[in-house]
Amino acid sequence: MDNISIARLLDETASLLEIDSADPFRVRSYRRAAEAVEQQTTQLATLATPDADPKALLAIAGIGKGMAANIVAIVNTGTLPLREELLQKYKPTMLELLRLPGMGPKTVALLWSALEVADIDALEAAAKAGDLNKLPRMGEKFTTKLIKGIEDYRRNSSRFRIDQAREQAERISALIREFPGIDEITPAGSLRRGRETVGDLDLLVTGPACEADVVSAAVDHVAALPLIDKLLAKGQNKVSFTLRSNLQVDVRLLPRASYGAALQYFTGSKMHNVALRQRAIKRGLTLNEYALARLEDNTIVAAATEEAIYRALDLDYIPPELRENSGELEAAATHALPQLITLTDIHGDLHMHTTETDGANTIREMAEAALARGLKYIAITDHSKNLAMTNGMDDKRALAHIKRIREVDAQMQGRIRVLPGIEVDILAEGQLDLDDSTLAQMDVVVASVHSRFDQPIDQMTDRILCALENPHTRILGHPTGRKVLKRDPYALHLDKILKRAAELGVAVEHNASPARADLNDLHLRLAKQHGCKITINTDAHSTDELDQIRYGITQLRRAWLTPADLINTQPTAEALLTQLRSKP
């Protein structure tokens, strides 16, 4: 049982407790525990065995005696007694009802007790038959909205990738800016925190047009934007709508004086904010989206900037990527926050493709584009023969390609170094698909899995472990593949692979492209714990895609990584190559 599954069971239990009208604080401790479990890099299953130290679980913030017992029960029996007890009273399908917009625990409980409705199909039928109108607070409007909500849910209930969300944010921002008196528009929420996917888009808007006495005109402007598919809500300074892609957007227009408080508030995460407000109360202060103020007389202490708010709470400024209530408040209080990686720390990109295989640009074009982006070295790593659909190279072509790469390297006259490399395929049995004598000519050999994702997970792991043993393997490319991680999200398998890579001195790649990325912040933290060399690469198939490094950086920041944790922060190609070849 992995941590994600344990967390899900705790979270489900919290929802069932809510439906059962349990003490809200008890519910919250189950949610908090679920959150904490999800963020652990060590597998709790290994801490819940009879011979493990019983104090290890209790050391996790938010886990006390009762919750530790629950976790032990989950690991040993696959469930916990309280959840089973609640499932005698309620149906598991009710948990899905909670995902519908406007549906909360109270409504779900009422539907069950009054109509014995427990799943989406039954709810839809009841709504269409007009049965809901007999219940309190459920009139015509509620029913109509609910039926629409069910349709939307069935059509699309997924999250959106960060790059797509950012693109939409920029599009909407441009339209909002057309209104006079708008100075600044900042995406908040999980987009600002750099999550790999976002559930909805939060846009904060400020400027003279957002002052309280005139804001209604700007609100009207936003509510009438042409790209709105459905207007969900419109208040004094807030507009919510969905786009045709079904992405929900919340726009808030706020006066300059309270912009920092709003930014802090709407960036979250929720758990970070709760912890922050608790800290405020201990200091006789109260924090909301308008200001940090004194409890006794409401005197404003800080409001205009986030920096001022954190400072007034005796904290260093906490970068948005760290705001997950996973130790950042403690670190900020003791000046122990890490110096996070920024774009300018990255001096090289070790994985990209050219027209020789499935890329869109030549070696020279990639080199010029990388130079224009301030990089000091790159590796050209086209595909090998097993990837026939990409026009992958056999040994002969690969050797000829090296020659061309060296020519371009010479042409660049030291302005940027262009290193010969290749992305080899890891075959089903774990061997690489080109000769060792060819690979020996390459500075950068990226070994990646591209096929047979249907292999059992153990075989897949053995296959990768075998490829790591090849003395020419320098980098493990997209270490397991998104498809594998989907089957085995936070698995012991990846742990095994990272551990062996660290022992052998093989670097692990964090693929910066949101479309291809597979290591999230937890995996990266695990890699750091094992002492892996880590590299962030774009796997660019065109010059444009070199820009995707900025998305990958946010994952590194979320993992608390510093420039010293990466190898392509090395200032020169020579320094990088020394690191790449060294064994621990």
Partner DNA sequence: GCCGTTTTCGGCCCGACTGTTTTCAGTCG
Residue 233 binds DNA (CB under 7 A):
yes
Which tokens hold the place of 34? 């679920």
Determine how β-strand 292-294 pairs with β-strand 300-302. Answer: antiparallel
CA distance 332 to 310: 9
CA distance 362 to 370: 12
256: closest CA among 181, 146, 150?
A: 181
Residue 584 binds DNA (CB under 7 A):
no
In the chain, the amino acid numbered 52 is A
Residue 40 binds DNA (CB under 7 A):
no
Q: Cα angle vertex 34, ends 29, 35, to 5°?
A: 95
**Please, are residues 367 and 412 in contact by the beta-carbon 8 Å criterion?**
yes
DSSP H helices, 131-284, are 140-155, 162-177, 189-193, 215-223, 259-267, 270-282
Closest separation in Å from C-beta 325 to DNA: 11
Among the listed ranges 86-94, 97-105, 553-561, 572-580, the one in contact with DNA (CB under 7 A) is: 97-105
Q: Out of 45, 126, 189, 478, point to the residue binding DNA (CB under 7 A).
A: 189
Angle between helices 105-115 and 3-19 (to 10 degrees): 60
Closest separation in Å from C-beta 197 to DNA: 15
Nearer to DNA, 127 or 432 (CB): 127
Residue 11 binds DNA (CB under 7 A):
no
Among the listed ranges 46-54, 281-289, 306-314, 484-492, the one in contact with DNA (CB under 7 A) is: 281-289
What is the DSSP track for 383-412?
EBTT-GGGT-B-HHHHHHHHHHHHHHHHHT
Q: Out of 2, 5, 28, 550, point to the residue binding DNA (CB under 7 A).
A: 28
Q: 519-529 burial, b if ≥16 CB within 10 A, otherwise e?
A: bbbbbbbbbbe
Binders of DNA in range 124-183 (CB under 7 A): 136-142, 145
Q: Out of 4, 120, 257, 274, point to the residue binding DNA (CB under 7 A).
A: 274
Q: Out of 88, 113, 158, 236, point to the residue binding DNA (CB under 7 A).
A: 236
Q: Out of 96, 124, 200, 394, point to the residue binding DNA (CB under 7 A).
A: 200
Nearer to DNA, 62 or 479 (CB): 62
Residue 82 binds DNA (CB under 7 A):
yes
Closest separation in Å from C-beta 137 to DNA: 5
Closest separation in Å from C-beta 63 to DNA: 6
Closest separation in Å from C-beta 374 to DNA: 36
Residue 39 binds DNA (CB under 7 A):
no
Using CA atoms, how far residue 162 sits from 71, 339, 526, in Å, is: 33, 24, 23
What is the DSSP track for 101-121?
TT--HHHHHHHHHHH---SHH
Nearer to DNA, 67 or 527 (CB): 67
Residue 105 binds DNA (CB under 7 A):
yes
Beta-ladder partners of 197: 161
Closest separation in Å from C-beta 68 to DNA: 6
Residue 414 binds DNA (CB under 7 A):
no
Residue 38 binds DNA (CB under 7 A):
no
Nearer to DNA, 65 or 171 (CB): 65
Determine how β-strand 197-198 pairs with β-strand 377-383. Answer: unpaired
Nearer to DNA, 39 or 535 (CB): 39
Please count the residues of this chain forming the interface with DNA, following the rule CB under 7 A: 60
Residue 569 binds DNA (CB under 7 A):
no
Binders of DNA in range 51-80 (CB under 7 A): 61-68
Binders of DNA in range 372-401 (CB under 7 A): none
225: closest CA among 209, 206, 241, 246?
A: 241
* Contact track, DNA, 284-323, x by CB under 7 A: --xxxxx---------------------------------
Nearer to DNA, 195 or 493 (CB): 195
Angle between helices 259-267 and 270-282 (to 10 degrees): 130
Sequence length of the chain is: 584
3-class DSSP state of 168: helix
Residue 280 binds DNA (CB under 7 A):
yes
Tell me which DSSP letter residue 546 carries.
Answer: G
Residue 539 binds DNA (CB under 7 A):
no
Q: Out of 212, 217, 281, 440, point to the residue binding DNA (CB under 7 A).
A: 281
Q: Out of 25, 55, 226, 584, point to the residue binding DNA (CB under 7 A).
A: 25
Nearer to DNA, 193 or 528 (CB): 193
201: closest CA among 228, 221, 235?
A: 228
Closest separation in Å from C-beta 287 to DNA: 6
Contacts of 289 (CB under 8 A, 6+ apart): 254, 258, 261, 262, 265, 266
Q: What is the dihedral of CA 432, 433, 437, 443, to 10 degrees?
A: -70
Nearer to DNA, 56 or 428 (CB): 56
Q: Out of 8, 91, 234, 406, point to the residue binding DNA (CB under 7 A).
A: 234
3-class DSSP state of 263: helix
CA distance 279 to 267: 18
Would you say the C-alpha torsion 519, 525, 531, 534 has a positive or negative sign? positive
Footprint on this chain of DNA (rule: CB under 7 A): 23, 25-26, 28-30, 32-33, 61-68, 82, 98, 100-108, 136-142, 145, 189, 200, 202, 233-238, 248, 250, 266, 270, 273-274, 277-278, 280-282, 286-290
